Each structure stands twice: as C-alpha cells, then as structure tokens.
C-alpha cells in the first residue's frame, strides 16, 4: 500500500476529464491536480517550451510527494513524456489520441482527429497513426481557438459552436464515421458535438483507457492506496479559480480548488 497522492497536470482545466475517470475507477486514491491555465494552450508552444513547462509542473507535484504523475495533456505527452521518463524515477502515464480503437471499429475506413497543433505535428502522433491505422484515412483537424474558449468557460457560446461546425463539416463531407478527440479539453465539447454530428458518427476519447493504465501501473509497482480509505482531491490553478471550480461542480469539488502561482 502507498497512500501518497497521484499527481495530474494539464495546460488548464481539460485534464479534469482524465481525473474524473481515474477517481471513478480508483476511488481510494488521493489526487493532486495542477491546471496550468496561465500557459494554455500548450499546443501553440515550441517543443522546448512544452518540456520546460512540464518540468515545472512535475517539480511542483514531486514537492507534494506524489507517487506517480499523469500527464493529462496530449501535447505535453507527445512532446515531453520521453524526457520526463528519462529524468525522473517515478512512473509517468501519458495521453495519446485513441486512433487504434477508432481504426479498428471504423466501417467507412475514414477517421477524423480533432487535436491541437502540438499534438498533430508530433512524431509520436505520426508513429501512432502509422502503426495502428493501416488502410485507414486519417483526417487531421487542428482545433485552433477551442482550448481558449473552454478555458474562458464559453462552452455554450455561438462562437464555440461556429468554430466546431467549421472544423467538423469538412470531415463529415469526406465520410468520417469516428471522431477522435485528441485533446483532454475536448470531452467538454461532447454536448455541442452531439448537436453537429449525425448519429452514425462515434466520438472516442482516451479517458477510460488512461484510468485503466493508471491502475495497471499502480498495481505493477505496488503503489495502490489502502482500499479502506476514501480518496481526497486537491486542485490548483494559476489563474482565476472560477472556471475550474465550475467544471468540478458536478463532483462537489468546488471547495477543493485553490489558487497557486506556479
């Protein structure tokens, strides 16, 4: 047993979509979440800057005695996780677009991927596509502006709907039957996406798979928490707490949100 917390970070509030899956699957685990909203979106940053920001976040989590770190950001995973694994001794869990299950299930053999520039341009994304999508047409769409609107709490705004529609329509016209969400912010777009997508298009994100991998790694290294305790959760943001608290309202976690200048 190891009752130290799991550390989770993202370039803002999006990684809470990963946290929610982890706390559901592993209710005994404590979690500490860092929302680096001040530097969002990571997808527009250089590789060197993404690595530097990831190091900063990991150092804060290690200072709070975290036993593992979940890099709940596709861009940080594709650009920095190799460096983090080489330079720190704790386990790291990364995120990458769920291309494999989409490719296996697609009937039209056309899969859309909505992601940030930093993810779509990474070598890890292209190797994943090459290894798991033979015979599949991958339609890549950069979701410019979406993270900023989500971070601003504009989930129901006409601007958000218009942007999404402009990104999704060309992929639909090419026959897409699966849409892979390649950014941890994007699951919060699903209610809007349901209004745009026909019923035959399946939306896929990585949250549940990441939670299962987290559990597997904790078991492998004997890091699971005491099964008789209930997990505690703390959330930190380096800008206004309002949006992060709002996104956590369904989980009754608003009071656990703190400001931290990191």
What is the tens place of the pLDDT at every residue in 85-123?
Answer: 999 999 999 998 899 999 999 999 999 999 999 889 888
Q: Which of 213, 188, 200 is nearest to 96 (CA)?
A: 213
- Give the H or E element holding residue 203: strand 202-204
Q: Which 8-state DSSP code applies to residue 197?
A: S
| Mean pLDDT in residue range 243-249 | 95
Q: Which 8-state DSSP code applies to residue 56?
A: H
- pLDDT of 122 reads 86
Residue 142 has pLDDT above 90, yes or no: yes
Residue 32 has pLDDT above 90, yes or no: yes
Sheet holding 31-35, edge to edge: 92-93, 68-71, 6-10, 31-35, 233-237, 257-259
Residue 16 has pLDDT above 90, yes or no: yes
Q: Is the pTM of this model over 0.75?
A: yes
Q: Tell me if residue 66 is catalytic.
A: no
- pLDDT of 255 reads 95
Choice among 32, 168, 172, 183 that is catalytic = 183
- pLDDT of 221 reads 97
Q: Tell me if residue 73 is catalytic.
A: yes
Residue 218 has pLDDT above 90, yes or no: yes
Rg (alpha carbons) of the chain, rounded to whole number = 18
Instruction: Look up residue 192 and give its two tokens.
Output: 């809007």
Residue 133 has pLDDT above 90, yes or no: no
Whether 36 contacts 240, CB under 8 Å: no
Residue 130 has pLDDT above 90, yes or no: no
Choice among 58, 69, 72, 73 that is catalytic = 73
Whether 35 contacts 10, CB under 8 Å: yes
Mean pLDDT across the chain = 95
């Amino acid at each position: 047993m190891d009752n130290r917390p799991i550390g989770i970070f993202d370039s803002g509030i999006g990684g809470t979509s990963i946290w929610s899956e982890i706390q559901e699957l592993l209710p005994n685990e404590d979690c500490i979440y860092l929302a680096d909203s001040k530097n969002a979106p990571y997808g527009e940053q250089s590789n060197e800057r993404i690595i530097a920001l990831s190091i900063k976040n990991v150092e804060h989590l290690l200072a709070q005695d975290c036993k593992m770190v979940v890099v709940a950001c596709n861009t940080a995973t594709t650009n920095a996780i190799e460096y983090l694994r080489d330079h720190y001794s704790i386990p790291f869990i990364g995120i990458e677009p769920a291309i494999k299950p989409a490719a296996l299930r697609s009937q039209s053999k056309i899969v859309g991927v909505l992601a940030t520039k930093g993810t779509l341009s990474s070598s890890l994304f292209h190797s994943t596509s090459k290894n798991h999508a033979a015979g599949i047409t991958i339609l890549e769409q950069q979701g410019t502006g979406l993270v900023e609107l989500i971070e601003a709490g504009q989930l129901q705004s006409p601007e958000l709907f218009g942007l999404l529609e402009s990104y999704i329509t060309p992929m639909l016209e090419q026959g897409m039957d699966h849409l892979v969400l390649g950014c941890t912010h994007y699951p919060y777009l699903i209610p809007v996406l349901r209004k745009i997508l026909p019923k035959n298009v399946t939306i896929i994100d990585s949250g549940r798979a990441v939670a299962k991998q987290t559990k597997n790694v904790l078991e492998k290294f004997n890091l699971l928490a005491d099964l008789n305790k209930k997990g505690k959760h703390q959330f930190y943001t380096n800008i206004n707490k309002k949006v992060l608290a709002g996104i956590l309202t369904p989980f009754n976690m608003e009071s656990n949100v703190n400001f931290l200048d990191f």
